[in-house]
Amino acid sequence: MINGWINLNKPKGFSSAYCLNVIKNKFKKIKIGHAGTLDPLAEGVLPIALGEATKTVSLIHLQLKSYLFEIKWGSETDTLDLEGKVINQNEIYPEKNQVQNILKKFIGWQMQIPPKFSAVKINGKRSYELARNNLEFEMEERKVLIKNIRLLKHESNKSLFYIKCGTGTYIRSLARDIARSLDGFSHVTQLIRTRYGSFRIKNSNSLEKLIEKESTDHFLKYVLDIQSALIHIPSIKLKDERINLIKNGMKVSLVNEFGKVSLDNIYTEALDKPLALGYLKSGFFYPKRVFN
């Protein structure tokens, strides 16, 4: 059993699911999952959870992501990227200072409408399935967080941006909204995720590197421990009888360590390995996911 995380640099042109299947087919006994799906045209950091690390995927979504993205001005596609067909166009190409000034409007909590070509579920079906079948439907607004956005490079018909944002933020929708705020149109031509929580692109590994050899030992040298993805979650190391109680799914008192506080997320450790994910209520730890 392999337990931990792989920091994959997803290549452009392949779906996140395809990359997972390549690794799974190479090492068939590995339980596998991932955090933060990237579109096929996007590239960059895709955290891959292996074995017991799959139990922590939901907590990774609490962390911020960073992207570099390029947009082309003057036309909007139905997919809001290079894959789609042009549905709106004009000849509005904003000046650099206009773009910089409008970005201030998009920092902080925002209401955003996801692209119709996305994995959002509408009455149990993915919205991209409905869109491909030319069915009429409306996308609901959702609240997203944009911590920072900067214009890095600007030319007559395209611009390059850096963004740091929370989960659920669609960069394609942001590109659409920036352009429309300037009475123009745009679509994304390049999207690179440079960071997701503690996973950075400079420390990522290519798919080819991960599977270039048959041996599991070769693969293991790229596996990070489970805790590497949980640096944003409080933790405590235990060395007493509470370990066995937690293993059996029972609540234990951490009042001596934390006082009578409550926390939505916390995990316990034993022998330098994660023991259980859970929450604190009035100083008592309630395990939700126990690690094997």
CA distance 282 to 229: 26
**What number is the average pLDDT over the span 169-179?**
97
Q: Quote the percentage of the chain above a pLDDT of 90.
A: 78
pTM: 0.91
For residues 48-68, average pLDDT = 93
- Residue 148, number of CB atoms within 10 A of its CB: 12
Q: What are phi and psi of 85, to 5 degrees?
A: -95, 150
* Percent of the chain clearing pLDDT 70 (strictly above): 100
Q: Give the model's pLDDT for residue 136.
A: 86
Indicate if 225 and 246 belong to the same structural domain: no
Q: What is the mean pLDDT of residues 86-104?
A: 96
Q: Rounded mean pLDDT of the chain?
A: 93
Whether residues 212 and 180 share a domain: the answer is no
pLDDT digits (tens, 9 = 90+) for 15-34: 999 999 999 888 878 899 99
The residue among 190, 188, 139 whose CA lies nearest residue 168 is: 139
pLDDT at 119: 82
Please determine, for residue 217, whether its predicted confidence score (pLDDT) is greater than 90. Answer: no
User: Are 241 and 145 contained in the same domain?
Assistant: no
DSSP state of 170: -
Give CA–CA dist 50/185, Å, rounded.
Answer: 41
Which of the residues are catalytic? 39
The pLDDT of residue 201 is above 90: yes
The pLDDT value given to residue 104: 94
Q: In terms of domains, do 137 and 212 share one? A: no
CATH number of the domain at 251, please.
2.30.130
pLDDT the model gives residue 213: 80
Q: Do 22 and 101 belong together in one domain? A: no
- Residues in a beta bridge with 259: none
More confident residue, 125 or 9: 9
255-273 per-position pLDDT tens digit: 999 999 999 999 999 988 9
Structure tokens at 28: 């068939």
Q: Both tokens of residue 201?
A: 């692109």
Contact 1, 51 (CB under 8 A): yes
Q: Is residue 128 scored above 90 in pLDDT?
A: no
132 and 252 in a single domain? The answer is no
Which whole number is the average pLDDT over 269-278? Answer: 93
Whether residues 79 and 192 fall in one domain: yes
Specify whether 266 is located in the same domain as 286. Answer: yes
What is the per-residue pLDDT for 206? Answer: 95
Is 164 found in the same domain as 117?
Answer: yes
pLDDT confidence tier of residue 71, bands split at 50, 70 and 90:
very high
> Is the same domain home to 57 and 100?
no
215 pLDDT more than 80:
no
Three-state secondary-structure class, residue 35: coil
Domain of residue 124, CATH code: 3.30.2350.10
Does residue 142 share a domain with residue 95? yes
| Residue with tokens 């201030």, as numbered in its chain | 104
Beta bridge partners of 158: 72
Question: Which DSSP helix (H) or strand (E) runs through 172?
Answer: helix 171-181
Domain count, the chain: 3
Task: Name the residue with higher pLDDT: 160 or 217.
Answer: 160
81 — pLDDT class (breaks 50, 70, 90): very high
Domain that holds residue 92: 65-196
CA distance to 80, 82, 187, 257, per residue, from 91 (Å): 17, 18, 14, 63
Q: Are residues 110 and 162 in the same domain?
A: yes
* Pairing of the two strands 43-50 and 4-10: antiparallel
